[in-house]
């Protein structure tokens, strides 16, 4: 599968390029283009695309950036990702960016948005407050005004006013992107030996830093190649990895889980790219309203969403059944309050339903995997032997 390996290699380079070279090249081709960096988890990239911009996912420094200055900005009992992002800013990796959006995940991200204002980077910094009220006339209207605020900021830079037609076109491209990504997950669920979870990760992550049109082409090519049989099934258990929705695990950690006897069939890595379930409905609503409605009615479950009528533990158990998995791996970043506050609720649901699980913490620059490998290996063996 030389062609597939070539694509994975290219995606790997794009996904982990901390200089965001491709995005910056794209911007240079047209004076009215803007780059808008956004932090995890979810941000409706469609609005930036419609305004001739590229929304670029900034996921931290990972295990490729030594943190020196970043540590001075955060106390020791805070997760690692924001330190990596501070290091990227102070080392001038984000120089060509026009603006930054900080979706409301937790207090750490809120504070980071304040720091960006102090750094004076970009032409705007927006803390994007997602609604906690899911009524269209309350939370929906509020969310719409938040999105309009971002569009106004972009307009101040490039003088582009989006139209229904331009937004419709952007929505169609991202609908397609989500559909293709889901298809790759479905193929992997059925034939997990054809591509590793780490390779799927790189392919999806590349889409955070390149234009959606280019990413759609890559995904289509990958799907074509994955339809051909490749490799053979191994004696591994099928697992969901959950808790890794914001600070990303190092690629080697994903590889370690699979090498220790698991097929990762479902996960919440890079959750923003799969946040909306199904297409945004532009037939029933105006394009901007369809983005709002999609958030209110089609969001996946996550620790950062307080959707009291839609308990996440039930959604996790449903996912477990749909994907026919044998167990769950709770893998959360150290000091991640949203993930760690949810774990007891989710784990109780597992206990009540005889679902096997293990749990460990990581940080984006974790470099030692021996203990995790032993823990996951024992988990996998115990399910194979006694489940």
Establish whether the linkage from the previous residue to 44 is cis, with ω within 30° of 0: no
Question: Is the Cβ–Cβ distance between 56 and 209 less than 8 Å?
Answer: yes
To the nearest whole angstrom, how small is the minimum distance from the Cβ of residue 361 to ligand SF4? 11
Could you give the CA distance from residue 133 to residue 143 in angstroms, rounded to a whole number?
10
Cα distances (angstroms) measured from residue 31 to each of 24, 39, 306, 352: 12, 24, 40, 58
182 binds ligand SF4 (CB under 6 A): no
Show contacts with ligand SF4 in window 137-176 (CB under 6 A). Answer: none
Question: Is the Cβ–Cβ distance between 83 and 74 less than 8 Å?
Answer: yes
The residue (of 131 and 192) whose beta carbon lies closer to ligand SF4 is 131
To the nearest whole angstrom, how small is the minimum distance from the Cβ of residue 88 to ligand SF4? 15
CB count in 10 Å sphere of residue 253 = 24
**Location of structure tokens 């409605």:** 293
Closest CA to 58 of 111, 6, 2, 97: 97
106 binds ligand SF4 (CB under 6 A): yes
Please select the residue that binds ligand SF4; options are 246, 251, 320, 328, rule is CB under 6 A.
Answer: 246
To the nearest whole angstrom, how small is the minimum distance from the Cβ of residue 106 to ligand SF4? 3
Rounded to 5 degrees, φ, ψ at 54 are -125, 120
Q: Residue 2 burial (CB < 10 Å; 0-12/13-18/19+)?
A: exposed
To the nearest whole angstrom, how small is the minimum distance from the Cβ of residue 77 to ligand SF4? 10
Q: Which stretch binds ligand SF4 (CB under 6 A): 45-53, 75-83, 211-219, 269-277?
A: 75-83
Show contacts with ligand SF4 in window 20-59 (CB under 6 A). Answer: none
Q: Length of the chain, please?
A: 387
The residue (of 282 and 366) whose beta carbon lies closer to ligand SF4 is 366
Show contacts with ligand SF4 in window 304-323 (CB under 6 A). Answer: none
180 binds ligand SF4 (CB under 6 A): no
270 binds ligand SF4 (CB under 6 A): no
Q: Which stretch binds ligand SF4 (CB under 6 A): 65-73, 77-85, 163-171, 306-314?
A: 77-85
To the nearest whole angstrom, how small is the minimum distance from the Cβ of residue 340 to ligand SF4? 8
338 binds ligand SF4 (CB under 6 A): yes
Please select the residue that binds ligand SF4; options are 37, 62, 243, 333, rule is CB under 6 A.
Answer: 333
The residue (of 290 and 363) whose beta carbon lies closer to ligand SF4 is 363
To the nearest whole angstrom, how small is the minimum distance from the Cβ of residue 306 to ligand SF4? 14
SS3 assignment for 116-164: HHHHCCCCEEEEECCCCCCCHHHHHHHHHHHHHHHHHHHHHHHCCCCCH
The pairing of strands 53-57 and 34-38 is parallel
Q: Which stretch binds ligand SF4 (CB under 6 A): 103-111, 162-170, 265-273, 372-380?
A: 103-111
To the nearest whole angstrom, how small is the minimum distance from the Cβ of residue 60 to ligand SF4? 9
129 binds ligand SF4 (CB under 6 A): no
Structure tokens at 371: 């203990």
Q: Which stretch binds ligand SF4 (CB under 6 A): 106-114, 132-140, 153-161, 185-193?
A: 106-114
Could you give the CA distance from residue 173 to residue 216 in angstroms, rounded to a whole number?
8
Question: Is the Cβ–Cβ distance between 240 and 320 less than 8 Å?
Answer: yes
Cα 304 → chain centroid: 13
Closest CA to 205 of 276, 269, 277: 269
* H runs (alpha helix) in 207-286: 212-226, 251-259
Q: Which stretch binds ligand SF4 (CB under 6 A): 87-95, 102-110, 273-281, 316-324?
A: 102-110
To the nearest whole angstrom, how small is the minimum distance from the Cβ of residue 86 to ligand SF4? 12
Could you give the CA distance from residue 55 to residue 45 in angstroms, rounded to a whole number?
6
81 binds ligand SF4 (CB under 6 A): yes
The pairing of strands 327-333 and 356-362 is parallel
Could you give the CA distance from residue 242 to residue 293 in angstroms, rounded to a whole number?
26
Please select the residue that binds ligand SF4; options are 58, 67, 109, 157, rule is CB under 6 A.
Answer: 109
The residue (of 218 and 244) whose beta carbon lies closer to ligand SF4 is 244
Please select the residue that binds ligand SF4; options are 15, 105, 254, 372, rule is CB under 6 A.
Answer: 105
Binding site for ligand SF4 (CB under 6 A): 79, 81-82, 105-106, 108-109, 246-247, 333, 336-339
């Amino acid at each position: 599968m030389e062609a597939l390996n070539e694509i994975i290699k290219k995606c790997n380079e794009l996904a982990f390029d901390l200089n965001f070279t491709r995005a910056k090249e794209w911007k240079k081709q047209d004076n009215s283009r803007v780059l808008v960096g956004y932090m995890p988890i979810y941000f409706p990239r469609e609005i930036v695309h419609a305004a001739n911009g590229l929304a670029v996912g900034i996921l931290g420094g990972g295990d490729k950036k030594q943190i020196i200055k970043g540590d001075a900005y955060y106390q020791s009992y805070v997760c690692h990702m924001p330190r990596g992002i501070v290091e990227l800013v102070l080392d001038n990796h984000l120089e060509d960016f026009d603006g930054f959006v900080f979706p409301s995940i937790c207090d750490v991200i809120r504070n980071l948005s304040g720091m960006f204002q102090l750094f004076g980077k970009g032409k705007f910094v927006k803390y994007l407050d997602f609604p906690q009220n899911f009524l269209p006339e309350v939370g929906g209207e509020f969310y719409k005004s938040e999105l309009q605020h971002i569009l106004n900021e972009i307009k101040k830079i490039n003088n582009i006013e989006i139209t229904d037609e331009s937004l419709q076109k952007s929505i169609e491209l991202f609908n397609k992107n989500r559909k293709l990504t889901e298809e790759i997950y479905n193929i992997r669920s059925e034939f997990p030996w054809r591509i590793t979870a780490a390779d799927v990760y790189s392919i999806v992550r590349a889409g955070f830093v390149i234009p959606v049109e280019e990413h759609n082409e890559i995904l289509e090519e990958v799907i074509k190649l994955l339809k051909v049989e490749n490799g053979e099934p191994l004696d591994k258990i099928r697992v969901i990895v959950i808790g890794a929705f914001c600070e990303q695990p190092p690629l080697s950690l994903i590889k370690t889980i699979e090498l220790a006897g698991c097929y990762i069939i479902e996960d919440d890595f890079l959750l923003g790219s799969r946040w909306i379930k199904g297409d945004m409905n532009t037939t029933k609503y105006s394009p901007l309203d369809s983005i709002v409605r999609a958030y209110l009615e089609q969001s996946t479950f996550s620790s950062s969403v307080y959707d009291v009528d839609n308990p996440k533990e039930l959604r996790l158990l449903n996912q477990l059944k749909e994907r026919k998995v044998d167990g769950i791996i709770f893998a959360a970043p150290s000091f991640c309050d949203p993930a760690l506050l949810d774990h007891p609720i989710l784990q109780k649901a597992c206990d009540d339903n005889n679902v096997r699980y293990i749990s460990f913490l990581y940080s984006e620059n974790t470099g030692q995997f021996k203990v995790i490998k032993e823990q996951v290996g024992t988990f996998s063996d115990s399910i194979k032997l006694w489940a």
